[in-house]
Amino acid sequence: MADAWAPGPPRPAAAPGEVHVWRASLALPPAELAALHEVIGDDERSRAGRFRFEVHRDRFIAGRGIQRLLLSRYLGADPAALRYTLAHHGKPALAAPWADAGLRFNVSNAEDGLLIAVATERELGVDLEAVRALGDRDEVARRFFSAPEVAVYDAIDDRERDAAFFTCWTRKEAYIKALGEGLSMPLDCFDVTLRPGEPARLLAARGNPAEVGRWTLRELDPGPGWLAAIAVEGDGWDLRLFDWDPARPMAASVAQSSAG
């Protein structure tokens, strides 16, 4: 499997046995933001206008615009013409007629970072987090992680707890995003690996043990100061990592943790 980020092709195509992940920066100059503002839909422009702070509005416009441009390259379509539909719990998907292409995608953004995962005919979810020190880190872990995960977490040296927390969080979020369950699914009803450096795996899914064999989890390395994970339906796929704009790589997170 590929493990290095490469410049993305201008006309990408996701073969049935491939999963593509693109990383991008949301910190764009005004001219690029203005161009993307014209690409996004009316409802997206309306949402952008409701953000209180300019930085959040600009990140939203950049993320939605890049998403449209990227998907249009796979589909050979006009990015402004793309339409989306939402599953029961809000997971976005392409609406007709683009749905017929079988393209699946999932998006995650944090601060100025963006990841977009793309595959054909298989569900997937991706999560990106900026690693940082949280004052209530341990309390959040004990509230949302499963009992087996908390037992592992409590045994980890405090110097590695920030990394362990976000390792667990990204893997759990990627899985529930792949399922399309969103906030309706309790985070403590399944277990993932969480020790820093430990291969990403879904260990147990209470109430539906078959889920463990249905999904493959992979850790992603977006760069210093970030952690990410992807959950993909099935196995036997190859991962390809692309930079949306090699001239503007996703910047290192400014919020550094004690884990480094």
φ, ψ of residue 110 to 5 degrees: the values are -150, 130
Q: Which domains does the chain have, with CATH numbers?
A: 11-243 (3.90.470.20)
φ, ψ of residue 240 to 5 degrees: the values are -125, 130
Residue for token pair 């017929």: 100
pLDDT for 13-30, tens place per residue? 999 999 999 999 999 999
Dihedral of CA 14/5/174/232: which sign?
A: positive
Q: With contact defined as beta carbons under 8 Å apart, do 116 and 177 qualify?
A: no
Residues counted in the chain: 260
Beta bridge partners of 252: none
The tens place of each residue's pLDDT in the chain, 260 residues long, gives 347 999 999 999 999 999 999 999 999 999 999 999 999 999 999 999 999 999 999 999 999 999 999 999 999 999 999 999 987 677 899 999 999 999 999 999 999 999 999 999 999 999 999 999 999 999 999 999 999 999 999 999 999 999 999 999 999 999 999 998 766 788 999 999 999 999 999 999 998 999 999 999 999 999 999 999 999 999 999 999 999 998 887 877 654 433 32
Identify the pLDDT of residue 256. Answer: 42
pTM for this structure? 0.94
Q: Which residues contact 76 (CB under 8 A, 6 or more apart)?
A: 11
pLDDT for 84-110, tens place per residue? 998 767 789 999 999 999 999 999 999
φ, ψ of residue 52 to 5 degrees: the values are -75, -40
Identify the pLDDT of residue 253. Answer: 61
Identify the pLDDT of residue 162. Answer: 95
